[in-house]
Amino acid sequence: MKSNFRLAFCFSILVLFLLSFSASAAVSMKSVIDIGLKRAIIQYTAMANVMDTIPGKLPKTILPNGTLQVSKPTWWTSGFMPGVLWYLYDYSGDKQLLIQAQNFTDRVECVKDYTGDHDIGFMLYCSFGNGNKFKPSQHYKDVLLKGSESLISRYKESVGCIQSWDFGPWKYPVIIDNMMNLELLFWASKHSDNPQFAKVANSHALKTMQNHFRPDFSSYHVVSYDPANGGKVERKSTAQGYSDSSAWARGQAWGLYGYTFCYRETKNPVYLQQAINIAEFIVNHPRLPKDKIPYWDFDAPNIPYALRDASAAAIMASAFIELSQYAPKSKGEKYLSVAETQLRTLTSDEYLAQPGTNQNFLLMHSLGHMPEKKEIDVPLTYADYYYVEALMRYRNLKKL
Ligand code: GLY
């Protein structure tokens, strides 16, 4: 009798285990994609309505007092909200989303003449670049070409890179994030007869490969050069990471994403190998959590209690989905599987905001600038942008 009872008990435990396993497996990637994109439409429609009442500005994050923080068009994140609206228009075909995408893209136009830092690619390629992809126009092309000229005005031949910032203790700082601005230049090289765009982009990518990366293919955040001394490396350090020698999570994500599109645009196998090397550093890292949302820095001091960075996960997911198509099969499958886990986690209640909450941003729990104690555990427009992009990339890849 006793053993019958034990058998029945074990059997019920097994049934419960199988039921819960099949329940979690039952959430298909199609549902994940639909939930994420439908929520994005709710949140960003509401966001656009709020921003309609704040002329000339773009959303940025939430301040510690819980209110919405906005930015001027020349702040590096200005293009992400229009970029999200373009993806959502592409997803839904909704006329109202098209109108809002066009309206908020217009707000960023002045960036075409901006030369105050390197972020012109972020600002213009996500807004006008997506606009030109989904609703091509000569005006959008003209803005992108003018912006590309502004961007290459920050390039110095003696260094071989575009200068990122004009502030700080460095002579000629180049940050790993700067890789992201090259996508605009590759576009411009194909839509103009100016050979300078591709030359600058390739020189910057190759120089960065040479000087930003460590033997394990993690990257420094800031490499500073000395233009007056033959462009020699002056110093390798961090601005947003835990330490000069640490692996700041978003920096690793920018590098991964950057070399992946460098390969797409040039088919130079050197870029593919670099993207794979960075991917291997990330996916094999012993401190990448099981749910694949990285801590804000792979070397943060209080892991496993360190804060996570949803923005880094979203950028990585988008890059992994693309890289999975170029990498050898077994590696490609691994990258796609990491991206799937990232998208599942980001689409859970832990990260995805409930409708009407989170000041209408989509994702919670990103981290902007830990050393300056700014934007800690907040929503950020770029987390939302790369999350939506990753959902769309996955949907297109799998034809869902
Ligand atoms: N480009 C600045 C950042 O990633 O925070």
Query: What atom in ligand 1 is closest to the CA of residue 180?
Result: 1
pLDDT tens column, 250-259: 999 999 999 9
Q: Can you give the pLDDT at residue 22?
A: 46
Q: From ligand 1's centre to the CA of 368, what distance in Å? A: 7
Q: Give the span between the Cα atoms of 226 and 169, in whole angstroms.
A: 12
pLDDT per residue over 75-87, tens digit each? 999 999 999 999 9
Atom of ligand 1 nearest to the CA of 76: 1
Q: How confident is the model at residue 25 (pLDDT cuts 50, 70, 90)?
A: low
d(Cα 112, Cα 128) in Å, to the nearest integer? 10
- Residues in contact with ligand 1 (CB, 6 Å cut-off): 76, 177, 240, 250, 368
The residue among 270, 304, 273, 302 whose CA lies nearest residue 287 is: 304
Mean pLDDT calculated for residue range 35-64: 98
Q: What is the pLDDT of residue 7?
A: 52
Ligand 1: distance of its center to the CA of 177 in Å?
Answer: 6
191-225 tens-digit pLDDT: 999 999 999 999 999 999 999 999 999 999 999 99
The answer, yes or no, to whether residue 9 has pLDDT greater than 70, is no
Q: How far is the CA of 329 from the centre of ligand 1 (A)?
A: 32
For residues 373-388, average pLDDT: 99
* List 177, 297, 309, 384, catalytic entry: 177
Ligand 1 atom with least separation from CA of 240: 5
What b/e sequence results for 281-307 when a residue is b if at least 16 CB atoms lie within 10 Å of its CB, and e otherwise?
A: bbbebeebeebbbbbbbbbbeeeeebb
CA of 382 to the centre of ligand 1 (A): 9
- 119 tagged catalytic: yes
Mutate to test the pocket of ligand 1, among 75, 182, 240 (most ligand atoms within 8 A of CB): 240
Atom of ligand 1 nearest to the CA of 175: 1
pLDDT tens for 97-115 read 999 999 999 999 999 999 9
Q: What percent of the chain has pLDDT over 90?
A: 94
Distance CA 228, CA 209 (A): 22
CA distance 367 to 315: 13
Which atom of ligand 1 is nearest to 250's Cα? 4
pLDDT score recorded for residue 19: 47
Write down the mean pLDDT value for the chain.
95
Chain CA centroid to CA 119, Å: 13
CB 379 within 8 A of CB 61: yes
Predicted pLDDT at 23: 45
Amino acid at 16: L
Question: Which of 174, 177, 380 best tests ligand 1's pocket when mutated (most atoms within 8 Å of CB)?
Answer: 177
pLDDT at 295: 99
Give the closest residue (by CA) to ligand 1 atom 2: 177
Candidate from 61, 75, 76, 221 with most ligand 1 atoms within 8 A of CB, to mutate: 76
**Ligand 1 atom 5 nearest Cα:** 368
Output the DSSP codes for 118-130.
STHHHHHIIIIIH
Spatial distance between the Cα atoms of 182 and 90, rounded to a whole number of angstroms: 24
Q: How far apart are CA 323 and CA 319, in angstroms?
A: 6
Ligand 1 atom showing the smallest separation from residue 311 Cα: 4
pLDDT higher than 50, residue 323: yes
Cα 275 → chain centroid? 15
Q: Where are the alpha helices (DSSP H) in 66-129?
A: 80-92, 95-106, 120-124
Residue 32 Cα to ligand 1 midpoint, Å, equals 27
Task: Name the residue of 74, 122, 250, 375 to mutate for ligand 1: max ligand atoms within 8 A of Cβ.
Answer: 250
Where helices occur in 191-248 by DSSP H, the ranges are: 196-211
Atom of ligand 1 nearest to the CA of 254: 4
Is residue 177 part of the annotated active site? The answer reads: yes
CA distance 197 to 187: 9
Residue linked to tokens 């799937």: 340
Residue 66 has pLDDT above 50, yes or no: yes
What's the 24 CA to ligand 1 centre distance in angstroms?
34
Q: Provide CB contacts within 8 A for 119, sequence distance 6+.
A: 76, 181
Which of 94, 113, 119, 142 is catalytic? The answer is 119
Beta strands in the chain (DSSP E): 58-62, 68-71, 155-156, 161-162, 173-175, 222-226, 232-237, 366-369, 374-378
Q: Which of 10-19, 164-173, 221-230, 334-343 has the lowest mean pLDDT?
A: 10-19
Rounded distance from Cα 156 to ligand 1 centre (Å) = 22
Cα 309 to Cα 96, 177, 246, 288, distances in angstroms: 32, 16, 15, 12
CB environment 350-389: b (16+ within 10 A), e (fewer): ebbbeeeebbbbbbbbbbbebeeeebeebbbbbbbbbbbb
* Cα distances (angstroms) measured from residue 213 to each of 128, 218, 222, 367: 31, 6, 11, 23
What is the amino acid identity at position 182?
L
Whether the predicted pLDDT of 1 surpasses 60: no
Q: Which amino acid is at 132?
A: N
The enclosing H or E element of 32 equals helix 29-51
- Closest C-alpha residue for ligand 1 atom 1: 177
How much distance in Å is there from the Cα of 8 to the middle of ligand 1? Answer: 56
pLDDT at 21: 47
